[in-house]
């Protein structure tokens, strides 16, 4: 039989309320409190229960996590479940923190449950399965049932469903599914329009998410002293594409030394971008990566220095998440070389 470990606070362990919230971490054999309800529905044995006071976890988080992880080092377990935490804010955050640490350290599935009002939801829903729970312990049985049915799917190696079907908060991950109804896009579209035209409620299949806006940077005070770097998503690379940057859906980037050239020569550089007609860029790579213009401006003293490298990747089909990761990697290099500003060219 598979094995599970459960995390609860001092209150649900029956130790006490607010007066005992400083209770230090402890591990006990077997199931305690809510785990008793859970164990009757779970296809796994709850071998241990970890208990920790909410205040202790809140004010000594690193220490508490370290102690708990040390309890788990010699234990075998297939899944880790915390809570449910209902509306209890500190308990919710504690469940999130310990689940996150356990997932990172032991790479086992971690599950918890909270009410939508619990601040832990916003903090942790992208890191783990946080199930939509009731407001108080009166909903314990229902909440535990939802967790157990999902946990059993994981334990049995079965396919799990979407957030709305399984009852967890969306983790910001969108994937395609085949509708059981078999209803086509055309049918859904026309039906949605008729509802909208008649003022009836309808549900968009793509709710527009909150926008991730980058604040505009402060201007450079003195351009004559500034070091400028140039960068492109237009796929300009040395002709042999040494970093094997993909022509679409790129996950790689490269940087190429331009300290000794006045411009990018055709035949030495080219574009590997698959989203536009490459003829003009191959004939003159500077139309995308304007090394020629930047060198001229440099000689004219329009700015202080040109960074020794240009940076390149491909933008077509490249996901926003991959783009952000690559940017973070590139920023380290730019900061090392004390670059003040970047000119980014697109296509």
Is the distance from CB of 315 to CB of 234 less than 8 angstroms? yes
d(CA 98, CA 83) in angstroms, rounded, equals: 11
Pairwise CA distance, residues 52 & 64, whole Å: 8
The piece of 56-64, 133-141, 175-183, 259-267 that touches another protein (CB under 8 A) is: 175-183
Is 70 a residue that touches another protein (CB under 8 A)?
no
Q: Which of 89, 134, 170, 254 binds another protein (CB under 8 A)?
A: 170
- DSSP character at residue 266: B
Q: Which is nearer to another protein, 183 or 225 (CB)?
A: 183
Residue with tokens 């029956």: 14
DSSP-assigned letter for residue 276: S
Query: 194 or 331: whose CB is closer to another protein?
Result: 194
Query: In this complex, which beta carbon is closest to another protein, that of residue 22 or of residue 322?
Result: 322
Q: Which of 138, 179, 200, 221 binds another protein (CB under 8 A)?
A: 179
For residue 25, the minimal CB distance to another protein (Å) is: 32
- Does 211 help bind another protein (rule: CB under 8 A)? yes
Query: Residue 52 has what DSSP assignment?
Result: E
Window of 140-148, 228-236, 272-280, 297-305 that interacts with another protein by CB under 8 A:
272-280
Distances (CA, A) of 155 to 2, 53, 112: 7, 29, 16
Binding residue (CB under 8 A) for another protein from 135, 141, 174, 302 = 174
Structure tokens given for 309: 């490298």
One residue of 26, 202, 238, 243 binding another protein per CB under 8 A: 202
- At a CB cut-off of 8 Å and minimum separation 6, what does 313 contact? 232, 233, 235, 245, 250, 252, 253, 254, 323, 326
Cα distance between residue 1 and residue 204, in whole Å:
43
240 in contact with another protein (CB under 8 A): no
Q: Closest separation between CB of residue 163 and another protein, Å? A: 4
Q: Does 246 bind another protein (CB under 8 A)?
A: yes
Sign of CA dihedral 155, 160, 164, 165: negative
- The residues that touch another protein, with contacts defined as CB under 8 A, are 162-165, 170-179, 182-190, 192-194, 196-198, 202, 204-206, 208-209, 211-212, 244, 246-249, 274-279, 316-317, 319-322
């Amino acid at each position: 039989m598979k094995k599970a470990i459960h995390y609860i606070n001092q209150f649900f362990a029956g130790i006490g309320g607010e007066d005992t919230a400083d209770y230090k971490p402890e591990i006990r054999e077997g199931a305690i409190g809510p785990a008793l309800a859970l164990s009757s529905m779970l296809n796994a044995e709850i071998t241990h229960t970890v208990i920790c006071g909410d205040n202790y976890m809140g004010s000594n988080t690193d220490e508490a996590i370290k102690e708990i992880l040390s309890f788990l080092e010699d234990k075998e377990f297939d899944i880790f479940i915390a809570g449910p935490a209902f509306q209890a804010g500190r308990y919710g955050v504690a469940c999130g923190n310990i689940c996150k640490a356990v997932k990172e350290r032991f790479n086992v599935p971690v599950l918890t449950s909270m009410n939508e009002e619990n601040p832990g939801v916003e903090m942790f829903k992208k890191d783990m399965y946080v199930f939509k729970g009731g407001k108080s312990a009166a909903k314990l049985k229902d909440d535990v049932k939802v967790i157990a049915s999902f946990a059993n799917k994981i334990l049995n190696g079965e396919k799990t469903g979407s957030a709305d079907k399984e009852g967890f908060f969306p983790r910001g991950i969108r994937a395609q599914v085949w509708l059981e109804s078999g209803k086509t896009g055309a049918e859904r579209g026309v039906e949605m329009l008729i509802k909208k035209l008649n003022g009836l409620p309808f549900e968009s299949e793509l709710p527009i998410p909150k926008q991730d806006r980058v604040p505009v940077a402060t201007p450079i005070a003195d351009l004559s002293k500034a070091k400028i770097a140039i960068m492109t998503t237009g796929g300009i690379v040395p002709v042999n594409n040494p970093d094997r940057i993909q022509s679409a859906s790129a996950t790689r980037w490269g940087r190429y030394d331009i300290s000794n050239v006045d411009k990018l020569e055709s035949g030495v550089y080219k574009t590997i971008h698959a989203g536009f007609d490459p003829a003009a860029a191959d004939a003159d790579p500077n139309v995308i990566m304007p090394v020629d213009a930047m060198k001229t401006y440099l000689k004219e003293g329009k700015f202080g220095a040109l960074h020794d490298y240009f940076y390149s990747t491909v933008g077509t089909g490249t996901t926003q998440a991959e783009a952000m990761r690559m940017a973070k990697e590139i920023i380290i290099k730019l900061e090392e070389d004390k670059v003040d500003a970047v000119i980014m060219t697109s296509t």
